[in-house]
Structure 1
Amino acid sequence: MRGAVMLDRIIYVTGYGRSGSTLLDMMLGAHPQVFGAGEMSTICRHVWPNDEYCACHARVRACPLWSDAVTEWQASGIDLDRHAMLQRRIEPILSHARRGAALRDYCDQTLALYRIVARRTGRPVLLDSSKSPGRALALARAGVDLRLIHLVRDPRAVAHSMSVPMQVDTEAGVQKTLPAHPVARTALRWSFVNAGAEAALRRIAPAHGLRLRYEDLVADPQGALARIGATVGLDLDAVGAAIAAGGTIAAEHQVAGSRIRMTGAMTLRPDMGWQRRMSPRAQAVVAGLCGARMRRYGYAAGGTGSASA
């Protein structure tokens, strides 16, 4: 354990699922000061209770990082079931107005785990890609240096991804059966969750938050990471240049998130296949439900799927 390192700031990724947060976590985690932790909100909810796999391919209760970090957290007086209960009260999007003892306990306990992980990894910047806007809203009230990245992706791409079921494959990072969801359901949830992420951005200093499109991240990783670096207070030029030149990225100890965290070292591979595979009718349904927010984020809502510059 590297006892000299203290938590300096938190980078939090918010937005809807299947938008590239695991990929972004891996990219930012390539910086020597950043620890990409994955979706830390899942630890008490299912990762620890179910002893799921860390990206290091060990189960979390045997992982050299998480086993010791969670044990230390518990030894400080944290009850994991009670923390999960606090999460159910605080993290839903519309609960950000809740105040009082529950919110204080939630923030204090969450920050305690962040500090333990920062100290044990020797990295002062912790990246939590949990995505929940309610978690972001709570952290914005916690009196810490919070940098917020609102990651968005064309809702047609998201809806297509969620329309494809996945079977359990625990070692590959799929911890439960994921059923196919109707594209209209995904479109409505995409709009709702991203509205919550916008609310979270309004709660912090403008210079400490930005909105980033997945499509821009994969098309110009160097430019996207330069923007992120200016927001989070880090020089990410070397990381961006290496990725743009075909260098590899890899997850270390990410919990939960996309299956790509389990694949080991990989190069950046944009995923735009939905434009070929998604039917025009399904695309039109999503565009009809999300059109206004799509246009605000710079997506063309008509015709075949494409993102405007």
Structure 2
Amino acid sequence: MRSDPTSTTRVLYLAGWGRSGSTLAETMLDRVPGLVGVGEIKFLWERGLLQNRRCSCGTPLRSCEFWVEVLGEAFGGIPDDATVRALDAASRRFRTRHLPGLLLKPASPPGADRLAWYYAALERLYRAVAAVSGAQVVVDSSKFPSYLTALLASPALDVRVAHIVRDPRAVAYSWQRHRHDPDAPGGARMPRMHPGFTALYWSAWNLATERIARRCARPYLRFRYEDLVADPDATLRAVTELSGVPAAAAPVGRGGEVVVPRTHQVSGNPMRFQTGAVALRLDDEWTTGMSLPHRYLTGAVTVPLRHRYGYKDT
């Protein structure tokens, strides 16, 4: 039975700069009754359907039973390639290059009047995810502040913003690591970035996220990756309260592990493919592995916002 097209779908949007722990946060939130984590929906069209990359369940997305049912609910079946390319092209309009404009003027998506069809498609998609999963809230970890404006322009989406931040020096160190991406075409590695550029992006993305959420007067919560690891129960309770579902205990065992079942996340960190017991521990390798010049550079570029978020000089 198809979902009610006039209903409002609640979306918990995980925002923040990459390598900040959003995949871990989403994996834990997916264990909370009433929530379903589906990864970075912004990349559903390109990586999921055009490239047919794997869902986190391990199945190519076009063959994944969950996504086949979702797309059938939303569009009557998997959209044809022309439609998917049009949806991907519309999604690409919400890019990082729009951040300066979003910081300087009221948050409004580019070409809003010409993208009504795209917003309607997003509404159908998120509504279908909720219907197929049976969840009250769809957790989307797309992170992009620019893509957030697309969701905010969709009247049938009740968007709440959970903004995850992490020490920018840890983030910069993570962006320098050589890591294999098991889902990338041709066995490519995950992208790398110089600490100076990472620091600039960290500042711009986080400022833009704050500005957009507050200008639109949407429910907003900022939380730290470090607090999620140190006190997962209190942190998850705050995030679930933001989402509007009853608070639940953090899914952490006595040994400090999270038991991860099979999920259906689109794109994101390769850890989304892990199942079973996953250790919940602070990744602070940067404190011993990061070079002093890179540490000082990242710290200097991010100092105003870093201090406001509680990350002091070391």
TM range (shorter): 0.7 to 0.9
In the alignment, is residue 148 of structure 1 matched against residue 152 of structure 2?
no
**Bigger mean CA offset, 159-168 vs 146-155:** 159-168
**Bigger mean CA offset, 210-219 vs 92-101:** 92-101
Question: Could you say which residue in structure 1 is the equivalent of 2:173?
Answer: 160
Cα distance change on mapping 1:145 and 1:179 into 2, 3 Å? closer
Q: 1:282 aligns with which of 294, 298, 303?
A: 294
1: CA distance, partners of 2:121 / 2:56: 24
Question: Could you say which residue in structure 2 is the equivalent of 1:306?
Answer: none
Determine if contact 2:145/2:205 at 8 Å carries over to the other structure. Answer: yes
Determine if contact 1:222/1:244 at 8 Å carries over to the other structure. Answer: no
2: CA distance, partners of 1:69 / 1:181: 35
Cα distance change on mapping 1:67 and 1:174 into 2, 3 Å? farther
Question: Could you say which residue in structure 1 is the equivalent of 2:212?
Answer: 200
Determine if contact 1:90/1:103 at 8 Å carries over to the other structure. Answer: no
**Bigger mean CA offset, 259-268 vs 175-184:** 175-184
- The RMSD of aligned alpha carbons is 2.6
Cα distance change on mapping 1:180 and 1:90 into 2, 3 Å? closer
Encode CA deviations 1:197-235: one digit per residue, 9 max, x unaligned. Answer: 1122213436x1111111111111011112112222222
Encode CA deviations 1:75-128: one digit per residue, 9 max, x unaligned. Answer: 377811111111122344346433533342332111111111111111121000
Cα distance change on mapping 1:195 and 1:65 into 2, 3 Å? same
Aligned-residue sequence identity (percent) comes to 32
- The aligned runs of 1:44-59 (5 Å cut-off) are 44-59=45-60
Cα distance change on mapping 1:27 and 1:7 into 2, 3 Å? farther
Q: Partner letter of residue 139 of structure 1?
A: L
Question: Could you say which residue in structure 2 is the equivalent of 1:86?
Answer: 90
* 1:290, distance to aligned residue in structure 2 (A): 0.7
Cα distance change on mapping 1:248 and 1:166 into 2, 3 Å? closer
TM-score (norm 2): 0.86
* Structure 2: unaligned runs, 5 residues or longer: none
TM-score (norm 1): 0.87
* Partner-residue secondary structure (3-state), 2:41: coil
Q: Partner letter of residue 83 of structure 1?
A: L
2: CA distance, partners of 1:264 / 1:2: 31
* Partner-residue secondary structure (3-state), 1:25: helix
In the alignment, is residue 213 of structure 1 matched against residue 234 of structure 2?
no
Determine if contact 1:15/1:151 at 8 Å carries over to the other structure. Answer: yes
2: CA distance, partners of 1:176 / 1:204: 38
2: CA distance, partners of 1:268 / 1:86: 37
1: CA distance, partners of 2:267 / 2:74: 19
Determine if contact 1:7/1:119 at 8 Å carries over to the other structure. Answer: no
Determine if contact 1:7/1:124 at 8 Å carries over to the other structure. Answer: no
- The aligned runs of 1:234-253 (5 Å cut-off) are 234-238=245-249, 240=250, 242-243=251-252, 245=254, 246=256, 248-250=258-260, 252-253=263-264
Question: Could you say which residue in structure 1 is the equivalent of 2:243?
Answer: 232
Q: 2:281 aligns with which of 261, 264, 269?
A: 269
2: CA distance, partners of 1:82 / 1:43: 13
